[in-house]
Amino acid sequence: MSAAYPELTYASRRERLVRESMFWGSLDRLLRNPQGFVGLLVLGLLIGSAIFAPLLTWHDPNVQDASGRFLSPRWEHPFGTDELRRDLYARTLYGLRVSLALSLTSVSVGATLGIMFGFFSGYVGGWIDAVMMRLIDALLAFPGLLSALAIVTILGPSIRNVAIAIAFFSVPSFARLSRAQMLGERNKDYVASAEALGAGALRIVFRHIAPNAIAPLLTQVALFMASAVIVSASLSFLGLGERAPDPSLGGLINTAKSNLQKAWWYPTFPGLALALLLLSLNLLADAINDAINPFARRRA
Amino acid sequence: MISYVAGRLLQSVPVLVLASMAVFSVLRLIPGDPADIIAGEDASPAEVEALREQLGLSDPIPVQYVKWIGDLARGDLGVSLRTGVPVTELLELSLPPTLELAAASYAIALLLGIPLGTIAGVKPRSIWDWALSLFTIATLGVPTFLLGVLLLWVFAVNLGWFPASGRVSFLHDPIDSMRYLALPAFALGTGLAAVLARYTRTTVQAAMGQDYIRTARAKGLKSHQVIIRHALRNSLIPIVTIVALQLGNIMAGAVVIERVFTRPGLGRLVVDAILNRDYIIVQSTLIILVFLFVTVNLAADVAYGLLDPRVRRS
Q: Whose CA is closest to A114, among A195, A174, A176, A169?
A: A174
**For position B285, what pLDDT does the model report?**
87
With residue B110 as reference, give the H or E element that holds it. Answer: helix B87-122
Judge whether B98 and B251 are in contact, CB under 8 Å. Answer: yes
Q: Where exactly are the structural domains of chain A?
A: 16-299
Closest Cβ opposite residue A146 in set B144, B146, B289: B289
Give the angle B168-B174-B177 at the CA atoms, nearest 5°: 30
Q: Which domains does chain B have, with CATH numbers?
A: 94-266 (1.10.3720.10)
How confident is residue A15, by pLDDT bands cut at 50, 70 and 90?
confident
Residues A125, A130, A131, A133, CA torsion sign: positive
The region of weakest confidence among A15-29, A198-212, A242-256 is: A15-29
Best residue of A103, A235, A238 to probe chain B, by most B CBs closer than 10 Å = A238
**For position A114, what pLDDT does the model report?**
93
**For position B32, what pLDDT does the model report?**
67
Which residues of chain B does A171 touch, with a Cβ-Cβ cutoff of 8 Å? none
Q: Which residue of B has its CA nearest to A278?
A: B141
Mean pLDDT of A247-259: 85
Rounded to a whole number of angstroms, the distance from the CA of B15 to the nearest CA of chain A is 5
Mean pLDDT score across all residues of chain A: 84
**For position A299, what pLDDT does the model report?**
40
- Residue pLDDT tens, chain B, 314 long: 778 788 878 877 887 888 888 888 877 777 667 777 777 777 788 878 887 777 777 778 888 888 888 888 888 888 887 788 899 999 988 889 999 999 999 999 999 998 998 888 888 888 888 888 888 888 888 998 999 999 988 888 888 888 877 787 877 778 878 888 889 999 999 989 998 898 888 888 888 878 888 888 888 888 888 887 777 877 777 788 788 878 888 888 888 899 888 888 888 888 888 888 788 888 888 888 888 888 888 888 788 777 777 766 65
**For position A278, what pLDDT does the model report?**
92
Mean pLDDT of A253-276: 87
- Per-residue pLDDT tens over the stretch A68-100: 788 888 888 888 888 888 888 889 989 999 889
Residues B265, B269, B272, B274, CA torsion sign: negative
Residues A57, A59, A61, A67, CA torsion sign: negative
Q: Whose CA is closest to A241, among A148, A171, A116?
A: A148
Which residues of chain B does A230 touch, with a Cβ-Cβ cutoff of 8 Å? 143
Give residues 235 to 264 of B whose Cβ lies within 8 Å of A.
248-249, 251-253, 255-256, 259-260
Q: Which residue of B has its CA nearest to A155?
A: B30
Judge whether A26 and A292 are in contact, CB under 8 Å. Answer: yes
Judge whether A135 and A117 are in contact, CB under 8 Å. Answer: no
Whether the per-residue pLDDT at A101 is higher than 70: the answer is: yes
Which residues of chain A does B8 touch, with a Cβ-Cβ cutoff of 8 Å? none
**For position A292, what pLDDT does the model report?**
75
Which residues of chain B does A266 touch, with a Cβ-Cβ cutoff of 8 Å? none
How confident is residue A113, by pLDDT bands cut at 50, 70 and 90?
very high
How confident is residue A293, by pLDDT bands cut at 50, 70 and 90?
low
CATH class, A16-299 region: mainly alpha
**For position A277, what pLDDT does the model report?**
93
Which residues of chain A does B15 touch, with a Cβ-Cβ cutoff of 8 Å? 134, 137-138, 141
Greater confidence, A211 or A119? A119
How confident is residue A295, by pLDDT bands cut at 50, 70 and 90?
low
Whether the per-residue pLDDT at A300 is higher than 50: the answer is: no
DSSP-derived secondary structure for chain A = ---SSPPP--SSHHHHHHHH-HHHHHHHHHHHSHHHHHHHHHHHHHHHHHHTHHHH-SS-TT---SSSTTPPS-SSSTT-B-TTS-BHHHHHHHHHHHHHHHHHHHHHHHHHHHHHHHHHHHHH-HHHHHHHHHHHHHHHTS-HHHHHHHHHHHH-SSHHHHHHHHHHHHHHHHHHHHHHHHHHHHTSHHHHHHHHTT--HHHIIIIIIHHHHSHHHHHHHHHHHHHHHHHHHHHHHTT-SSPTTS--HHHHHHHHHTTTTT-THHHHHHHHHHHHHHHHHHHHHHHHHHHH-TTSPPP-
Closest Cβ opposite residue B145 in set A137, A234, A300: A234
**For position A297, what pLDDT does the model report?**
42
Closest Cβ opposite residue B14 in set A134, A239, A275: A134
